[in-house]
Amino acid sequence: MSSQPVSAVASGSFVIGGDLPVNRLGYGVMQLTGPGVWGDPSDPEEAVRVLQRAVELGVTLIDTADAYGPFVADLLIRKALHPYKENLVIATKVGLTRSGPNDWRPVGRPEYLRQQVELNLRHLGLERIDLLQLHRIDPKVPLEEQIGELALLQKEGKIRHIGLSEVSVDQLQSAGKIAPIASVQNLYNLAKRDAEPVLEYAEANQIAFIPWFPLATGALAKSGGPLDEISGRLGLKPSQLALAWLLKRSPVMLPIPGTSKVAHLEENIAAAGIELTGEDFAALSKLV
């Protein structure tokens, strides 16, 4: 048996927006910040090591946001990985403002979105953002103004592709009439699948589906629970099983599990090499 670590390449690939290939198992950076996603991490050097190790293990999709820290995650990415490898896609988000730990408020005014795009570019050290996602739709601002500003930035060459986060199928369709939408990032995991209609729409339209909070398995993973039983039988961690299930669930699925520790990162990436049988996949799917 090879002692070589599993690479994210084993998760397969997906082409975002028709021209941006990534390995399907990515990495989300939110946990690299301080408590409440506010301020610096307790161990900045480990945060840098995590980012560098993720790329070493074949991760080509890193998901961040100006709101993480704020800006702390972006600056860590630049410190760890700049100059960037040609195949590395850094997806970021705009549309939330921060006033303290665990405080998130949507602001979708065009001038604010433009400012955040410019700050993302500066902090990440990029000339163009490959995937810019609207973190939340601001209910106080017409959708046409929010997506329209991103489309304008796209025409200016500052954004390659536009994505959305936490939206319904109707919102996804409405936004798609204003500008092409390449990705959608909604809460989705083995234990919580409310976004199933959005996933089905994304799959039917070749839109990347990025499930956030992919490892939240809740009571399913408790000692003696059904996920614990199956993972024990297969010799896997419940989190690895949850990721393997997501990867098998849909070819447009791009999980971005986050962690602040190299050891946990390596454990997550190893899920790329897990091939669930149809029987095990069906058993896991029936848990909720």
Radius of gyration of the chain from Cα atoms? 18
The rounded distance, in Å, linking the Cα atoms of 170 and 252 is 19
Q: Which residue has the tokens 């199928």?
A: 169
Nearest Cα neighbor of 64 from 9, 133, 15, 127 is: 133
Our measurement of the distance from residue 185's CA atom to the centroid of its chain's CA atoms, rounded to an integer in Å, reads 7
Q: What angle do CA 252, 256, 257 make, to 5 degrees?
A: 135
Is 68 tagged catalytic? yes
Q: Which amino acid is at 6?
A: V
Q: What angle do CA 69, 75, 78 make, to 5 degrees?
A: 150
Q: Give the helix/strand (H/E) hosting 103.
A: none
Show the tokens assigned to 209: 């589906």
Give the residue among 49, 51, 63, 57 at the shortest CA–CA distance from 10. Answer: 57
Catalytic residue among 68, 112, 188, 201: 68
Cα separations (Å) of 263 from 48, 135, 241, 254? 14, 29, 17, 21
For the annotated catalytic residues, the residue numbers are 68
